[in-house]
């Protein structure tokens, strides 16, 4: 029963938190650029407006894929709040990612096609890192379940600092921030227009956006696990991490997927492996 209540809280709070984070993000980004920026509630206005727009698609697959993306993202957040298995949560989240890609590929538009391919490259880059992070958690707690994390005496961060850094790569990719914002970017000034999102419009774009909020919450939740012992430090860790994300977003050029693959596989995986070896040894 408790689990069910937690799941419902997660499902409701997910988009609220995700939307607020997105709004804050835009505001802080504006400050970094010496601008005033939009209201904090802007993301909600955007999505509400999109929901009120005319429904327009290239074909029915897009409708299907947008919905499945949202549902999978929501389910993964639900599972997270239900203290589920990290790997399962991740795979459920991957359902969404795959459907987003497939929906983009259903349209005869080179932009969404290439965007979809790049999205796949991103999955290729972050998936191994995330799995290794979960393995790290398993090695520390003896389980892949989130519930085990709360029983720790010492924050995960103390044992897996390098894995946290590697997680940073995955976080940046998932949040679609520079230097990894090539499958689609927040500002439409990209060689691929809106990349993987080019053909989603109106209410379906809103679904994708809400799903993205869920994903943001999921990945922030993942970060939160790293300081599970103290709420204050957890908040500080999250704030610091996100602030760093915004800073990185604002001080780096967009790179290419080739660069990303090499970088994340060498550095991200490298750091993860070093940290893992340490955990295995210890």
Spatial contact of 32 and 248, defined as CB atoms under 8 Å apart: no
For residue 25, state whether it binds other proteins (rule: CB under 8 A).
no
For residue 256, state whether it binds other proteins (rule: CB under 8 A).
yes
How many residues bind to other proteins according to rule CB under 8 A?
A: 119
| 264 torsion bin: left (phi>0), alpha (psi -120 to 50), beta (else) | alpha
Q: Which residues does 136 contact at the CB level (< 8 Å), separation at least 6?
A: 156, 159, 160, 163, 272, 275, 276, 279
Cis preceding-peptide flag for 179 (omega within 30 of 0): yes
**Which range of residues in 149-157, 162-170, 193-201, 227-235 is near other proteins by CB under 8 A?**
193-201
> Minimum Å distance from CB 200 to other proteins?
8
Spatial contact of 220 and 14, defined as CB atoms under 8 Å apart: no
DSSP state of 85: B
For residue 233, state whether it binds other proteins (rule: CB under 8 A).
no
Helix or strand (DSSP H, E) at 242 = helix 231-251
Beta-ladder partners of 85: 145
For residue 67, state whether it binds other proteins (rule: CB under 8 A).
yes
> Minimum Å distance from CB 235 to other proteins?
20
For residue 276, state whether it binds other proteins (rule: CB under 8 A).
yes
Binders of other proteins in range 103-132 (CB under 8 A): 103-114, 116-117, 120-121, 123-125, 127-128, 131-132
For residue 1, state whether it binds other proteins (rule: CB under 8 A).
no
**Which range of residues in 68-76, 152-160, 214-222, 232-240 is near other proteins by CB under 8 A?**
68-76
Residue (5 or 56) nearer to other proteins, CB? 56
Q: Which residues does 248 contact at the CB level (< 8 Å), separation at least 6?
A: 172, 177, 178, 179
- Give the whole-angstrom CA distance, residue 113 versus residue 103: 9
Q: Which two tokens stand for residue 55?
A: 């429904």
**Which x/- pattern over 132-171 shows residues binding other proteins (rule: CB under 8 A)?**
x--x--xx--xxxx--------------------------
Residue (37 or 161) nearer to other proteins, CB? 37
State which of residues 1, 2, 54, 153 lies at the interface with other proteins (CB under 8 A).
54
For residue 72, state whether it binds other proteins (rule: CB under 8 A).
yes
């Amino acid at each position: 029963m408790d689990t069910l209540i937690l799941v419902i809280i997660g499902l409701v709070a997910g988009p609220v938190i995700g939307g607020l984070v997105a709004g804050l993000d835009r505001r802080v980004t504006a400050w970094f650029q010496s601008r005033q920026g939009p209201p904090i509630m802007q993301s909600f206005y955007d999505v509400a407006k999109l929901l009120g727009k005319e429904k327009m698609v290239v074909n029915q697959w897009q409708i299907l894929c947008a919905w499945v993306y949202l549902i999978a993202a929501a389910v993964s957040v639900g599972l997270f709040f239900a203290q589920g298995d990290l790997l399962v949560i991740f795979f459920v989240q991957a359902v969404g990612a795959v459907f987003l890609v497939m929906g983009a590929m259903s349209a005869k538009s080179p932009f969404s096609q290439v965007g979809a391919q790049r999205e796949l490259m991103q999955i290729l880059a972050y998936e191994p890192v995330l799995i290794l992070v979960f393995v790290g958690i398993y090695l520390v707690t003896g389980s892949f379940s989130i519930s085990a994390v709360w029983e720790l005496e010492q924050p995960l961060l103390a044992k897996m600092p390098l894995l946290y850094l590697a997680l940073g790569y995955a976080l940046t990719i998932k949040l679609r921030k520079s230097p990894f914002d090539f499958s689609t970017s927040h500002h439409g000034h990209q060689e691929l227009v809106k990349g993987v999102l080019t053909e989603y419009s109106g209410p379906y774009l809103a679904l994708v956006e809400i799903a993205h909020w869920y994903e943001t919450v999921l990945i922030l939740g993942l970060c939160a696990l790293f300081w599970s012992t103290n709420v204050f430090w957890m908040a500080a860790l999250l704030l610091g991490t996100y602030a760093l994300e915004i800073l990185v977003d604002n001080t780096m050029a967009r790179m290419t997927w080739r660069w990303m693959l090499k970088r994340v596989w060498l550095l991200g995986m490298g750091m993860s492996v070093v940290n893992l070896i340490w955990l295995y040894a210890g």
